[in-house]
Amino acid sequence: MKSAARKPSQSRPSVARAESGGGPVSRVSVEVLRELQALQGTGDQILDALVPRARLRQLAAGARLLKRGEPNLLVYVVISGRLRVELDGGSPPLAYINRGETVGELSLLAGSTATASVAAEEPTQLLVLDEETFWWLAESSHEFSVGLLVRLAKRLRSNNDAVQENITLRRQFEQAALSDALTGFRNRRWFDQTLPRIVQRHLHASEPLCLAIMDIDHFKRVNDNFGHAAGDAVLMQVGRLVRNNLRPTDFAARIGGEEFALILPQTLLPGAISAIERLREAIAGTAFDHDGRRLPQVTVSLGLVALERGANPEQLLAQADVALYAAKQSGRNRTEWPRRHAHPEKAKQTPPRRAGTKSAGSRRRR
């Protein structure tokens, strides 16, 4: 049952008060009302009764009609011109309100503040309905009520589409923020966020896990002698070889200029050694070129470690860094892992700080 405030006090509505801050006030004709999409199908008797109650309002281009977060109890019908809907000043318009369409009904129906700001895209003339007139019209005209429901349904569907589009865009932005644009691998940010979860999952399930840090040997010489475009070509080709030689369940991330992290889930050390050595040999056996020029032979060095009970991600990464340093010290183009040699003290040396990266002992999750 509707409240008394929503019902007309007389059989013929009285003249509405002009809204605060409104422009020049004048009456509208039945002929103009009949042409408006929002009032199509409404009988002339109802339109004639609406004339003394409805008001006209003029908006100059750029003038604000509604402000997000402020109360609104008026419904506006565009007679001429165009309105734009936006969240904040200066933001791209969310939608446009054209001739014959309405705005303001959502906040009136919900008894809430405006959910968006509305301004005139160009000089605009509006039909203004106050709350009492709006409810009188909804009760008096079945056609107006049905048209209102149809418009609201379309607007809600449009809002749902916009929400879904925003979700898709957000996922794309998140994907871009965690990916390396050159190789298509995950980046250092992803690695620092994800490695602790992978380590924790494998420790909890008592499953084997191996981690390898791979560095392209003498990569600076390629950049210095052939240019950075050639260096990029080497990185992309190495990336393709990594993809071709690892399992779909393995992870690869570019964590530095020429440094990659390779995560091998559910893999014991012997199996990881076979996989990593197969990758190293594939890279060493590939001819690299750029722009028609043959590049020097590209090789990689790798430090490989297996997750042990009680280890944490920082320790695992530090151990892989130590093993990588041992591979570099042993002549490059090789893979090293703890306890490979009879004299493990060599593998326990602390690697020097590499340009652009943290030392093995200072790597931390970000």
Catalytic residues: 258
Question: In sequence order, what are the beta bridge partners of 336?
Answer: 303
Question: In sequence order, what are the beta bridge partners of 147?
Answer: none
SS3 (DSSP) at 126: strand
Distances from the Cα of 19 to the Cαs of 16, 265, 286, 341, 352, in angstroms? 9, 68, 78, 88, 74
**DSSP class of 177:** H
Nearest to 312 by CA among 196, 223, 206: 196
CA 132 to chain centre: 43
Dihedral-angle region of residue 50 (phi above 0 means left; psi in -120 to 50 means alpha; beta otherwise)? alpha
Helices (H), 246-338: 269-284, 313-329
* Cα–Cα distance for residue pair 52/75, rounded to 1 Å: 16
b/e burial code for range 65-83 (CB count within 10 A of at least 16 → b): bbeeeeebebbbbbbebbb
Question: In sequence order, what are the beta bridge partners of 268?
Answer: none
* Cα–Cα distance for residue pair 102/14, rounded to 1 Å: 22
Own/partner pairs, 243-252, CB within 8 angstroms, 24+ separation: 244/282, 245/275, 245/278, 245/279, 245/282, 246/275, 246/279, 247/275, 250/275, 251/186, 251/194, 251/198, 252/185, 252/186
Other Cβ atoms within 10 Å of 33 Cβ, number: 22
Amino acid in the structure at residue 284: A
SS3 (DSSP) at 3: coil
